[in-house]
Amino acid sequence: MTARRTTRIRKTAPSPKPAVERRGTPSSGRITALMLGQGHGFIRPKNDLKVFFHRSDLCEGTAFQDLALGDRVTFELFEDAISGPRALRVERPRSHR
């Protein structure tokens, strides 16, 4: 008797593509609405656009609960074809409100 050697072919999942970092246009504006329980709000830049942001869009070191209506913020304006304008990398300038 001869021993039969079997080779198993391992199927591997394709390696995930690296996440594409979304970038937008540098902008600034004031917070006009905050939905604390839902974790999002809206910013109004100088061009009277209503821009959505989520707590996950805040820069590191910026806490959602520390934001207030009327706060001046800087952000990157990202035009999403499906959901409209969105603010990325939102933060309060270091100087003051």
Domain ranges of the chain: 25-74
pTM over the 0.85 mark:
no
**Can you name the CATH fold of 25-74?**
OB fold (Dihydrolipoamide Acetyltransferase, E2P) (2.40.50)
The tens digit of pLDDT for each residue in 86-97 reads 999 999 987 654
Of the candidates 30, 90, 25, the one whose C-alpha atom is nearest the C-alpha of residue 54 is 90
Percent of residues in the chain assigned helix, strand, coil, to nearest 5: 5, 40, 55
The tens digit of pLDDT for each residue in 2-28 reads 666 666 666 666 666 555 566 789 999
CA distances 86 to 4, 5, 54, Å, are 61, 58, 9
Give the C-alpha separation, 89 to 21, whole Å. Answer: 11
- Both tokens assigned to 82: 């499906």
Three-state secondary structure call for residue 29 = strand
